[in-house]
């Protein structure tokens, strides 16, 4: 396995292992608290990470089966969080969904066709990115770590 990919899988596995019990150690009021109305609560941040997993799941698969460059579709992250009402979801179900989805992402990354790591991508504007799917995989974990710091700091 590519060293950068190995590092990413280890970071993801560490999060999957450590985060659930830490998340559930918060009381429900703290998980639902919105610092200001425009900001997400801890539950909504975790919900956003589930949405990120859902969208990146597609990207990580498409990069291996579509032609280079493959097309990435963006999503309206605030609307996704709002319509799914994560703040009212049972906390154990929420963390279990996050954990399960990331186990699947870990599986995809662990079995990634290394010949496809340099596959490039296009956003809706049809401009080829200078970055590769390997960048997106690493960015997925960096993005997760950024939001996990928001939850736990």
Show the domain range for 128: 3-152
pTM: 0.95
Q: Residue 13, CB half-sphere, CA atoms under 13 Å: how many?
A: 10
- pLDDT tens string 102-142: 999 999 999 999 999 999 999 876 777 789 999 999 999 99
131: CATH: 1.20.120.450
- pLDDT tens string 16-67: 999 999 999 999 999 999 999 999 999 999 999 999 999 999 999 999 999 9
Whether residue 146 is predicted with pLDDT greater than 80 in this model: the reply is yes
Range 132-136, long-range pairs (CB < 8 A, 24+ positions)? 133/59, 133/60, 133/63, 134/2, 134/4, 134/5, 136/56, 136/59, 136/60, 136/63
C-alpha closest to that of 42 among 112, 107, 9, 89: 89
The length of the chain, given as a count of residues? 153
Q: How many structural domains compose the chain?
A: 1
Q: Assess contact for 31 and 91: CB atoms under 8 A.
A: yes
Cβ atoms within 10 Å of 104's Cβ, excluding its own:
12
Q: Residue 62 in 3-state DSSP?
A: helix
pLDDT at residue 143, as a whole number: 98
């Amino acid at each position: 396995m590519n060293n950068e990919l190995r590092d990413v899988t280890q970071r993801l596995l560490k999060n999957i292992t450590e985060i659930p019990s830490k998340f559930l150690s918060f009381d429900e009021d703290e998980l639902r608290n919105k610092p200001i109305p425009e900001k997400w609560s801890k539950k909504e941040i975790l919900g956003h990470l589930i949405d990120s997993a859902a969208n990146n799941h597609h990207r990580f698969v498409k990069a291996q089966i579509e032609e280079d460059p493959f097309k990435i579709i963006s999503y309206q992250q605030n609307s996704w969080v709002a319509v799914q009402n994560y703040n009212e979801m049972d906390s154990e179900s929420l963390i279990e969904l996050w954990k399960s989805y990331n186990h699947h992402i870990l599986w995809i990354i662990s079995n990634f066709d290394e010949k496809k790591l340099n596959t490039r991508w296009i956003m809706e504007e049809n401009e080829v990115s200078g970055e590769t799917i390997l960048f997106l995989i690493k960015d997925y974990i960096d993005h997760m770590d950024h939001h996990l710091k928001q939850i736990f700091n």
